[in-house]
Amino acid sequence: MPSLEVKRVPTNPASLKSTAVGDVSGVNPEYERYLDLHAQFEGPARKKLLRKLDWRLLPTLSFLYLMCSLDKSNAGNAKLFGFLEDVGMTPTQFNLALMYLFFTYGLCEPVSNIMLRRLGPKIWFPCIVIAWGLITTLTCLVKNYGSYVAIRLVLGLSEAGLYPGSYFILSMWYTPRELATRMAIFYGANTAAGAFGGVIAYGVGNLDGVHGWRAWKWLFLIEGLVTVAAGLSTIVFLPHFPHQYGPGKSSKWFSDAELEYAQLRVKYAAGPNPPTYAFRWSDVAAAARDRKTYLMMMLFWWGGSVPTYSLSYTLPTMVKNLGYTAVRAQALSTPPYVFATCVCVLVGWMSDRFQRRYYSIMGCYCLGLVGIVLLWVTVHYDGLSGVSYFAIFLAAAGYSAQAPIVGAWTSVNVPNPSKRAAAIGLLMLFGSVGGGSIGSNIYLASEAPTYPLGFGFSVGATVLGAMIPATIHWWLMRRENRKREALDADAIYGRYTPAELGELGENSPLFRYTL
């Protein structure tokens, strides 16, 4: 962790001032104010603030992500309700349509995060959520392959900002020690979407034929209208960024002292030399040039998007192939996602508790691999359907739990907000375009139920595309931390001004990467 992070210094205000590297007491009045507030919010007051933040941010963002995941992946449920036959699509055309979404989805992620950085969540999020809700609703009117492709392209365009934007919003309100747990709770909505998707599809299946509409039409209509309502609610429930509050813009949710401390505790989480909060295009360019962005992109792409999307789109069919009816397969696709949600939150909490991002991610990859390999072997034997179903639990949990740790690991090692927003958007650009387009096409219907291409590709992607880059990333940052530990802090303060150290961000010799 950064050597100046609050968690590493005593909680007594006087001690905080005396132990800061370079002792900047009296130099930065805002930092002095932060130290005073940090002492005032010691204990119950800080827990109360965190509870307020949790109840304000997590339910809102998690529900939005739940709807985003449902609206993006409900095609797998619609397929079992005769969607392909009614629209006149072949399985190959269906897979291609699923793939096309990820081109607009991925390409717009960095653009959306930049817009979020400039406009703030209270303006940008209602716009994109209402837009994709309307598009999902219109999917019930699809009549052919061309119209479905158009719907998927526009859906990707509008949904692109929710996932990277939510990660960025959380990183603006929570300190590095708190981030992985909150990102895991948020991401749990994605795994919960698999559970809710199965339950909703099971219920909607009973509407088949009502008013002359097939069940898949009701599925898109209901989920789309709920999303529009959720988008309207964000106008009330989603706060601004903390630094956007000031004279003339207060909050009804927080007292003035709570809001001031919420602003300063994140700004000074890495010590007395904070990064600039002004938006600059040079910071966006710096993220595009940074090696860390592309190494983390590999994790998100090959260890996250490919296996996660492929599993979400194929799971109902995979369960059906174990010998269950279509409706029962919808219901049985729920328990693996419930388990995955619990594992996701547990791993996020442990990652924060022990501050070991690399080991947390590798543990998730190993769990996912065990599940995929076990499933790959057992689907060849009719008498092992129970073992195959258990393997789905492991695969869903492992590949879901790694995602919030990847987001947290990226966020805590990029202190500059504009660069962090761009880095998150860029790593998700490649991950979404590459992972989503590949993941939706590797489990071929012609290879069911053994899926040799799908299982083999998932194993290779995890080991070669994710585990090896994660190890390289960890080793390079550990080497840099050891170099910086050998430097003399007084000499550093003699060479750089506090402003220059803040400008350097994670390149500052005083910064320590989270491993």
Instruction: Give me the helix-helix angle, 417-430 and 281-289, nearest 10°.
Output: 50
Query: 365 and 402 in contact (C-beta within 8 Å)?
Result: yes
- Answer whether residue 286 is part of any domain: yes
Which residue, 94, 101, 97, 96, is CA-closest to 80? 94
Determine the Cα–Cα distance for residues 306 and 309; give it in Å rounded to an integer.
6
3-state secondary structure of 249: strand
**Residue 254 DSSP symbol:** S
Beta bridge partners of 249: 246
Tally of domains within the chain: 1
Mean pLDDT split into 10-residue runs, the chain, 515 residues: 36 37 56 92 92 93 87 77 88 84 86 92 94 93 92 92 93 92 87 68 77 86 92 92 80 87 90 84 93 93 85 70 65 81 93 94 95 90 85 90 92 92 87 74 82 90 94 97 93 88 91 93
Backbone angles phi, psi at 249, to 5 degrees: -135, 90
**Residue 465 DSSP symbol:** I
Which residue, 196, 195, 199, 201, is CA-closest to 216? 201
Domain range for 380? 6-13+21-33+57-270+280-507
- Answer whether residue 336 is part of any domain: yes
- Answer whether residue 41 is part of any domain: no
- For the entire predicted model, the pTM comes to 0.84
Structure tokens given for 161: 């900002």
- Answer whether residue 200 is part of any domain: yes
Determine the Cα–Cα distance for residues 470 and 492; give it in Å rounded to an integer.
30
Backbone angles phi, psi at 291, to 5 degrees: -60, -35
Query: 434 and 305 in contact (C-beta within 8 Å)?
Result: yes
CATH code where residue 244 lies: 1.20.1250.20
Query: 180 and 1 in contact (C-beta within 8 Å)?
Result: no
Which residue, 341, 452, 471, is CA-closest to 399? 341
Residues in contact with 246: Cβ distance below 8 Å, sequence separation at least 6, in sequence order: none
- Answer whether residue 45 is part of any domain: no
- Answer whether residue 490 is part of any domain: yes
- Answer whether residue 512 is part of any domain: no
Cα angle 457, 462, 467; round to 5: 155
Structure tokens given for 490: 């007084």
Looking at residue 442, what is its pLDDT? Answer: 86
- Answer whether residue 38 is part of any domain: no
